[in-house]
Amino acid sequence: MDDATILDRITKLSDEEMELEEHHARAQLTDDRLARLKSIETELDQCWDLLRQRRARRTAGLDPNEAAVRSEDVVERYLQ
């Protein structure tokens, strides 16, 4: 997956996240929508992490294509 594809996925996920959050501000979300929102948040974290890995590898003169998506357990435990 190249940077442009990752950024496109981030944009689509962010748009969906915003739509769900706006709906949540007006009314309670169903369990399915809450689960989807959590899933989006995790996938966004994974996409941003992958993009950062690719950029760091490129900066270090390494192949960005060797970057890999990290598990939910890893990206959700990062300190902000």
13 domain residue, yes or no: yes
Gyration radius from the chain CA atoms: 15
pLDDT band with cut points at 50, 70 and 90 for residue 80: low
47 domain residue, yes or no: yes
**Model confidence pLDDT, tens digit, residues 38-54:** 999 999 999 999 999 99
Residue span of the structural domain in which 34 resides: 3-75
Number of domains in the chain: 1
**Residue 61, helix vs strand vs coil:** coil
How far is CA 57 from its chain centroid? Answer: 19
> What is this structure's pTM?
0.88
66 domain residue, yes or no: yes
80 domain residue, yes or no: no
Both structure tokens of 53: 């890995």
